[in-house]
Chain A
Amino acid sequence: MTAVHAGPDTGQGGAARPETLAAGLDEDARRWLEQARAEAAAQAPGWEPRFAEAGRRCGPADDARVLLLTAARPDPADLTRLYRQGTAAERRAVLLALPLLETDPAHGVPLVEDALRTNDTSLLAAALGDYAARHLQAHTWRHAVLKCLFTGVPVSRVAGLASRSRGDGELARMLRAYAAERTAAGRAVPDDLHHVLALTEEER
């Protein structure tokens, strides 16, 4: 097949490179992905349905969808619409693509905040990548970390955890209060809580 070229940002932020993704696909899926990516790059009218159907055409659909988004580079209004009209899987792809598209925080942060209001752990995890680490307000970010502890999302999925937690006294207070609440209820304190608490106690 013709090599699919990586966009300038691909490969950062944990998204699969096109070559890596294509290598794991069978012939039909590879051909489909190549065609879909060309349509996306040309912003052809059919590219959005390709974004929707990636799951049944192309194995690791998160990576495939991110690839289509980085090829199409939709403007913020279109990106927001793709998120709002997307299934959970499509929303996840938009979230994963935010740092690669370098979306203006005025448009990208509301999408991250929307995902953080859900209880779908796959959306929470996808929302807490590099983009959130860079752009979320302190209050929102602290609540996101706490929500990971509530919903069982491993904090290893939170990008920039160590650097943002370091010396964060307010986060430490929230973690201690949560630990006290768990203890008062006779419930176990998650290991991840101790881990983040230790990070907050490191010096800035």
Chain B
Amino acid sequence: MRIFDPHIHMTSRTTDDYEAMHAAGVRAIVEPAFWLGQPRTSPASFHDYFDSLLGWEPFRAAQYGITHHCTLALNPKEANDPRCAPVLDDLPRYLVKDQVVAVGEIGYDSMTPAEDTALEHQLQLAADHDLPALVHTPHRDKLAGLRRTLDAVAASALPAERVLLDHLNETTVEEAKDSGAWLGFSVYPDTKMDERRMVAVLREFGPEKVLVNSAADWGKSDPLKTRKVADAMLAAGFDEDDVDLVLWRNPVAFYSLSGRLRLTAPATGPTHEGNSILRGAPATGTAAHPVAAGA
């Protein structure tokens, strides 16, 4: 089974997670830029974070046979902080980088005017850079947030077909699907979606344009939720092709809209032999010499 996790914050995770993800079938991931838990205080803090998503983290992932791409943006929460918002001016020089496959996470947190401005601006940046957009839908007042998001997308230069609406659930999936956007579901241990409900949504709305992610980060979350959803789908009578569509082909299709998705694991240098995972062939194992933290 080949798995593509289209939304996971690996900077917050350990190499044990990478190892377990590879063993579970994860061969490709996208890491969206987001909030760190501790608020940032300047654009420079974003620069280091973006550089890490374009440098160290892909190297770390490749050591475990996993291809890493990222999405970059000013996230909805910090769009409200005037100390952070100037990073919007720096985004154009980052959005040209090879491994950037979307603008994201953008969207609403508390639905403020500052969030409106940042969302509008970044939807335009996505259109200007020929990139799709990963749009986070808010956790509080979710349905109203989804509708405001759809209005913002409709008013933008970016067609809904180039937007992935994330963190959907039973209350928002129908209107999201009607918009023509791609449908993202985050599966969490206690909040957001769970495996059983995910299977029910797939039964009702079908697997087309549906992406499932673990959204694992520094909070209580599980980087193997993608695999657990795949297993739950099989147990519920979906066939392997349905699983492959949701857990691999749909995320590949969405991020391929960027023209930048490269699924041949890049060689990370002399200690790692690149594994071709274009067709999901099992990687030949992890690198012989994962780099020790203290090296």
Residues of B at under 8 Å CB distance from A? 51, 54-56, 58-59, 93, 96-99, 259-260, 262, 267-272, 288-289, 291-292, 295
Stretch at the interface among A30-38, A83-91, A159-167: A83-91
A-B contact count (CB 8 A): 72
User: Given A88-B59, A122-B269, A153-B269, list of 5 further CB < 8 A pairs?
Assistant: A54-B98, A119-B56, A124-B269, A151-B291, A154-B270
Chain B interface, DSSP helix/strand/loop, else mixed = loop
B294 nearest CB neighbor, chain A only: A150
Query: B58 near A53 (CB under 8 angstroms)?
Result: no
Per-position 1/0 for A49-91, Cβ under 8 A of B:
1001111100001000000000000000000000001011101
Per-position 1/0 for A141-175, Cβ under 8 A of B:
00000010011111001000000000000000000
Cβ of A121 under 8 Å from chain B: yes
Query: A120 near B59 (CB under 8 angstroms)?
Result: yes
A residues in contact with B271, CB < 8 Å:
121, 151-153
Query: A151 near B289 (CB under 8 angstroms)?
Result: yes
Measured CA separation A123–B54 after assembly (Å):
13
Measured CA separation A125–B267 after assembly (Å):
13
Measured CA separation A166–B97 after assembly (Å):
42
B290 nearest CB neighbor, chain A only: A152
Per-position 1/0 for A80-115, Cβ under 8 A of B:
000001011101000000000000000000000000
Measured CA separation A189–B61 after assembly (Å):
27
Measured CA separation A119–B56 after assembly (Å):
8
Query: A52 near B96 (CB under 8 angstroms)?
Result: yes
Query: A119 near B295 (CB under 8 angstroms)?
Result: yes
Query: B98 near A120 (CB under 8 angstroms)?
Result: no
Query: A157 near B98 (CB under 8 angstroms)?
Result: no
A residues in contact with B98, CB < 8 Å:
52-56, 61, 87, 89
Query: A121 near B268 (CB under 8 angstroms)?
Result: yes
| From B97, B268, B269, B292, residue with most partner A Cβ within 10 Å | B269
Query: B289 near A122 (CB under 8 angstroms)?
Result: no
B201–chain A nearest beta-carbon distance, Å = 34
